Structure 1
Amino acid sequence: MAKVLIVDDAAFMRMMIKDILEKNGFEIVGEASNGLKAVEIYKKEKPDVVTMDITMPDMDGIEAVKAIKAFDPAARVIMCSAMGQQTMVMDAIRAGARDFIVKPFQQDRVLEAIKKALG
Protein backbone atom coordinates (compact mmCIF):
# COMPACT_ATOMS: atom_id res chain seq x y z
CA MET A 1 0.00 0.00 0.00
CA ALA A 2 1.51 3.30 -1.08
CA LYS A 3 1.90 6.01 1.55
CA VAL A 4 0.82 9.53 0.61
CA LEU A 5 1.43 12.96 2.15
CA ILE A 6 -1.26 15.52 1.26
CA VAL A 7 -0.27 19.18 1.23
CA ASP A 8 -2.80 21.99 0.71
CA ASP A 9 -3.64 25.09 2.71
CA ALA A 10 -7.36 24.42 2.23
CA ALA A 11 -8.67 21.72 4.58
CA PHE A 12 -11.52 21.04 2.14
CA MET A 13 -9.06 20.23 -0.67
CA ARG A 14 -7.05 17.93 1.60
CA MET A 15 -10.25 16.16 2.55
CA MET A 16 -11.22 15.67 -1.11
CA ILE A 17 -7.89 14.10 -2.07
CA LYS A 18 -7.79 12.04 1.11
CA ASP A 19 -11.25 10.68 0.36
CA ILE A 20 -10.30 9.71 -3.21
CA LEU A 21 -7.07 8.04 -2.15
CA GLU A 22 -8.36 6.18 0.90
CA LYS A 23 -11.27 4.75 -1.12
CA ASN A 24 -8.68 3.40 -3.56
CA GLY A 25 -6.41 1.72 -1.03
CA PHE A 26 -3.77 4.36 -0.35
CA GLU A 27 -2.54 5.13 3.14
CA ILE A 28 -2.44 8.80 4.15
CA VAL A 29 0.61 9.27 6.40
CA GLY A 30 0.24 12.99 6.90
CA GLU A 31 -1.40 16.26 5.97
CA ALA A 32 0.20 19.68 5.88
CA SER A 33 -1.23 23.15 5.30
CA ASN A 34 2.05 24.76 4.18
CA GLY A 35 5.40 23.90 2.65
CA LEU A 36 7.36 24.08 5.90
CA LYS A 37 5.14 21.46 7.54
CA ALA A 38 5.25 19.37 4.38
CA VAL A 39 9.06 19.18 4.44
CA GLU A 40 9.01 18.34 8.16
CA ILE A 41 6.46 15.53 7.71
CA TYR A 42 8.23 14.23 4.59
CA LYS A 43 11.50 13.81 6.50
CA LYS A 44 9.73 11.93 9.28
CA GLU A 45 7.32 9.74 7.29
CA LYS A 46 9.18 9.32 3.95
CA PRO A 47 5.94 8.84 1.96
CA ASP A 48 5.90 7.18 -1.46
CA VAL A 49 4.11 10.15 -3.03
CA VAL A 50 3.29 13.75 -2.12
CA THR A 51 0.38 15.78 -3.50
CA MET A 52 1.53 19.40 -3.24
CA ASP A 53 -0.51 22.57 -3.59
CA ILE A 54 1.36 25.43 -5.26
CA THR A 55 0.01 28.51 -3.50
CA MET A 56 0.37 28.31 0.30
CA PRO A 57 1.45 30.52 3.19
CA ASP A 58 4.92 30.35 4.84
CA MET A 59 6.53 28.28 2.08
CA ASP A 60 4.90 27.70 -1.30
CA GLY A 61 4.76 24.38 -3.11
CA ILE A 62 7.67 25.14 -5.44
CA GLU A 63 10.03 25.93 -2.55
CA ALA A 64 8.76 22.85 -0.71
CA VAL A 65 9.47 20.63 -3.75
CA LYS A 66 13.03 21.99 -3.89
CA ALA A 67 13.52 21.33 -0.17
CA ILE A 68 12.09 17.81 -0.39
CA LYS A 69 14.17 16.97 -3.50
CA ALA A 70 17.30 18.28 -1.76
CA PHE A 71 16.57 15.90 1.14
CA ASP A 72 15.51 12.99 -1.10
CA PRO A 73 16.37 13.24 -4.82
CA ALA A 74 14.08 10.25 -5.52
CA ALA A 75 11.01 11.97 -4.00
CA ARG A 76 7.81 11.71 -6.02
CA VAL A 77 5.80 14.92 -5.89
CA ILE A 78 2.60 15.70 -7.80
CA MET A 79 1.60 19.36 -7.95
CA CYS A 80 -2.00 20.45 -7.47
CA SER A 81 -2.86 23.67 -9.19
CA ALA A 82 -5.83 25.85 -9.88
CA MET A 83 -6.62 26.81 -13.46
CA GLY A 84 -4.35 29.52 -14.82
CA GLN A 85 -1.24 28.57 -12.85
CA GLN A 86 0.63 27.10 -15.83
CA THR A 87 3.76 29.18 -15.25
CA MET A 88 3.99 28.01 -11.66
CA VAL A 89 3.35 24.42 -12.72
CA MET A 90 6.30 24.64 -15.14
CA ASP A 91 8.47 26.05 -12.32
CA ALA A 92 7.40 23.13 -10.14
CA ILE A 93 8.23 20.57 -12.84
CA ARG A 94 11.65 22.20 -13.26
CA ALA A 95 12.07 22.00 -9.47
CA GLY A 96 11.49 18.26 -9.65
CA ALA A 97 7.75 17.59 -9.52
CA ARG A 98 6.69 14.51 -11.50
CA ASP A 99 3.23 15.58 -12.64
CA PHE A 100 0.38 17.93 -11.86
CA ILE A 101 -3.36 17.70 -11.34
CA VAL A 102 -5.78 20.56 -11.72
CA LYS A 103 -8.45 21.57 -9.22
CA PRO A 104 -11.28 20.76 -8.87
CA PHE A 105 -9.96 17.22 -8.51
CA GLN A 106 -11.28 14.45 -10.72
CA GLN A 107 -10.85 11.03 -9.20
CA ASP A 108 -9.58 9.38 -12.40
CA ARG A 109 -6.94 12.04 -12.98
CA VAL A 110 -5.74 11.96 -9.35
CA LEU A 111 -5.38 8.17 -9.41
CA GLU A 112 -3.71 8.23 -12.83
CA ALA A 113 -1.11 10.77 -11.65
CA ILE A 114 -0.39 8.83 -8.43
CA LYS A 115 -0.05 5.51 -10.25
CA LYS A 116 2.18 7.09 -12.88
CA ALA A 117 4.42 8.61 -10.19
CA LEU A 118 4.68 5.26 -8.41
CA GLY A 119 5.31 3.37 -11.66
Structure 2
Amino acid sequence: MHKILVVDDAAFMRLMLKNILSKQGYEIVGEAENGLEAVEKYKALSPDLVTMDITMPVMEGVEAVRLIKQLDPNAKIIMCSAMGQQSMVVQSLQAGARDFIVKPFQEERVLESIRKTLGA
Protein backbone atom coordinates (compact mmCIF):
# COMPACT_ATOMS: atom_id res chain seq x y z
CA MET A 1 0.00 0.00 0.00
CA HIS A 2 1.35 3.39 -0.98
CA LYS A 3 1.77 6.01 1.75
CA ILE A 4 0.81 9.57 0.92
CA LEU A 5 1.45 12.88 2.68
CA VAL A 6 -1.23 15.49 1.92
CA VAL A 7 -0.10 19.12 2.14
CA ASP A 8 -2.53 22.05 1.86
CA ASP A 9 -3.25 25.02 4.08
CA ALA A 10 -7.01 24.48 3.62
CA ALA A 11 -8.41 21.66 5.75
CA PHE A 12 -11.27 21.26 3.27
CA MET A 13 -8.86 20.61 0.38
CA ARG A 14 -6.92 18.08 2.47
CA LEU A 15 -10.18 16.34 3.30
CA MET A 16 -11.23 16.19 -0.36
CA LEU A 17 -7.91 14.68 -1.39
CA LYS A 18 -7.89 12.24 1.52
CA ASN A 19 -11.36 11.03 0.55
CA ILE A 20 -10.39 10.50 -3.09
CA LEU A 21 -7.20 8.65 -2.16
CA SER A 22 -8.54 6.56 0.74
CA LYS A 23 -11.34 5.21 -1.44
CA GLN A 24 -8.69 3.85 -3.80
CA GLY A 25 -6.77 2.13 -1.02
CA TYR A 26 -3.98 4.66 -0.55
CA GLU A 27 -2.83 5.19 3.03
CA ILE A 28 -2.74 8.82 4.19
CA VAL A 29 0.21 8.78 6.59
CA GLY A 30 0.15 12.47 7.42
CA GLU A 31 -1.06 15.97 6.67
CA ALA A 32 0.67 19.32 6.74
CA GLU A 33 -0.69 22.82 6.37
CA ASN A 34 2.46 24.63 5.25
CA GLY A 35 5.72 23.88 3.48
CA LEU A 36 7.85 23.84 6.62
CA GLU A 37 5.57 21.29 8.25
CA ALA A 38 5.60 19.30 5.00
CA VAL A 39 9.41 19.02 5.07
CA GLU A 40 9.36 17.93 8.73
CA LYS A 41 6.63 15.35 8.11
CA TYR A 42 8.45 14.06 5.02
CA LYS A 43 11.53 13.40 7.15
CA ALA A 44 9.49 11.71 9.87
CA LEU A 45 7.11 9.66 7.72
CA SER A 46 9.02 8.83 4.50
CA PRO A 47 5.87 8.79 2.34
CA ASP A 48 5.86 7.27 -1.15
CA LEU A 49 4.25 10.40 -2.54
CA VAL A 50 3.41 13.97 -1.51
CA THR A 51 0.55 16.11 -2.79
CA MET A 52 1.80 19.68 -2.32
CA ASP A 53 -0.25 22.87 -2.44
CA ILE A 54 1.60 25.79 -4.02
CA THR A 55 0.38 28.80 -2.05
CA MET A 56 0.70 28.35 1.73
CA PRO A 57 1.77 30.40 4.74
CA VAL A 58 5.18 30.04 6.46
CA MET A 59 6.78 28.32 3.43
CA GLU A 60 5.22 27.92 0.02
CA GLY A 61 5.13 24.71 -1.98
CA VAL A 62 7.95 25.44 -4.43
CA GLU A 63 10.45 25.99 -1.62
CA ALA A 64 9.23 22.87 0.19
CA VAL A 65 9.74 20.83 -2.99
CA ARG A 66 13.34 22.07 -3.23
CA LEU A 67 14.05 21.12 0.38
CA ILE A 68 12.41 17.70 0.12
CA LYS A 69 14.33 16.97 -3.09
CA GLN A 70 17.56 17.87 -1.28
CA LEU A 71 16.66 15.35 1.44
CA ASP A 72 15.54 12.72 -1.05
CA PRO A 73 16.32 13.19 -4.75
CA ASN A 74 13.83 10.40 -5.55
CA ALA A 75 10.91 12.05 -3.73
CA LYS A 76 7.67 11.88 -5.71
CA ILE A 77 5.73 15.12 -5.43
CA ILE A 78 2.57 16.25 -7.20
CA MET A 79 1.69 19.93 -7.02
CA CYS A 80 -1.86 21.16 -6.42
CA SER A 81 -2.56 24.51 -7.98
CA ALA A 82 -5.46 26.85 -8.43
CA MET A 83 -6.10 28.29 -11.86
CA GLY A 84 -3.72 31.04 -12.93
CA GLN A 85 -0.63 29.72 -11.15
CA GLN A 86 1.13 28.51 -14.29
CA SER A 87 4.43 30.21 -13.52
CA MET A 88 4.49 28.62 -10.05
CA VAL A 89 3.68 25.23 -11.57
CA VAL A 90 6.63 25.60 -13.94
CA GLN A 91 8.91 26.56 -11.02
CA SER A 92 7.65 23.53 -9.09
CA LEU A 93 8.37 21.18 -11.96
CA GLN A 94 11.83 22.69 -12.35
CA ALA A 95 12.36 22.18 -8.60
CA GLY A 96 11.57 18.50 -8.99
CA ALA A 97 7.82 17.98 -8.80
CA ARG A 98 6.65 15.18 -11.11
CA ASP A 99 3.20 16.45 -12.07
CA PHE A 100 0.46 18.85 -11.08
CA ILE A 101 -3.28 18.72 -10.53
CA VAL A 102 -5.61 21.70 -10.66
CA LYS A 103 -8.18 22.70 -8.08
CA PRO A 104 -11.06 22.07 -7.81
CA PHE A 105 -9.94 18.44 -7.83
CA GLN A 106 -11.35 16.08 -10.42
CA GLU A 107 -11.19 12.58 -9.02
CA GLU A 108 -10.14 10.89 -12.27
CA ARG A 109 -7.35 13.38 -12.92
CA VAL A 110 -6.05 13.08 -9.36
CA LEU A 111 -5.93 9.28 -9.54
CA GLU A 112 -4.37 9.30 -13.00
CA SER A 113 -1.60 11.61 -11.77
CA ILE A 114 -0.98 9.55 -8.63
CA ARG A 115 -0.79 6.27 -10.59
CA LYS A 116 1.50 7.80 -13.20
CA THR A 117 3.80 9.30 -10.56
CA LEU A 118 3.99 6.12 -8.51
CA GLY A 119 4.60 4.12 -11.68
CA ALA A 120 1.64 1.86 -10.90
Q: Does 2:21 correspond to 1:17?
A: no
SS in structure 2 at match of 1:79 = strand
Q: CA RMSD in A?
A: 0.3
- Aligned mates of 2:110, 2:49 — CA distance in 1: 12
Give 1:65 deviation, angstroms: 0.1
* Aligned counterpart, 1:112: 112
- Aligned mates of 1:92, 1:23 — CA distance in 2: 27
- Aligned mates of 2:53, 2:36 — CA distance in 1: 12
Give 1:103 deviation, angstroms: 0.1
Q: Does 2:35 correspond to 1:26?
A: no
SS in structure 1 at match of 2:94 = helix
Give 1:117 deviation, angstroms: 0.6
Give 1:89 deviation, angstroms: 0.1
Give 1:14 deviation, angstroms: 0.1
TM (norm. structure 2) is 0.99
* Aligned counterpart, 1:39: 39
Q: Which amino acid aligns with 1:62?
A: V
Q: Which amino acid aligns with 2:11?
A: A
TM (norm. structure 1) is 0.99
Q: How does 1:92-107 map to 2 (within 5 A)?
A: 92-107=92-107
Give 1:66 deviation, angstroms: 0.2
Q: Structure 1: give runs of 5+ residues left out of the alignment.
A: none
Give 1:91 deviation, angstroms: 0.2
Quote the sequence identity (%).
Answer: 69
Give 1:100 deviation, angstroms: 0.0
Q: Structure 2: give runs of 5+ residues left out of the alignment.
A: none
SS in structure 2 at match of 1:52 = strand
Give 1:69 deviation, angstroms: 0.1
- Aligned mates of 1:116, 1:86 — CA distance in 2: 21
Runs of 4+ residues over 6 Å off in structure 1 = none
SS in structure 2 at match of 1:80 = strand
Partner deviation per Cα, 1:23-60 (whole Å, 9 max, x = no partner): 00000000000000000000011000000000000000
- Aligned mates of 2:101, 2:51 — CA distance in 1: 9
Give 1:21 deviation, angstroms: 0.2
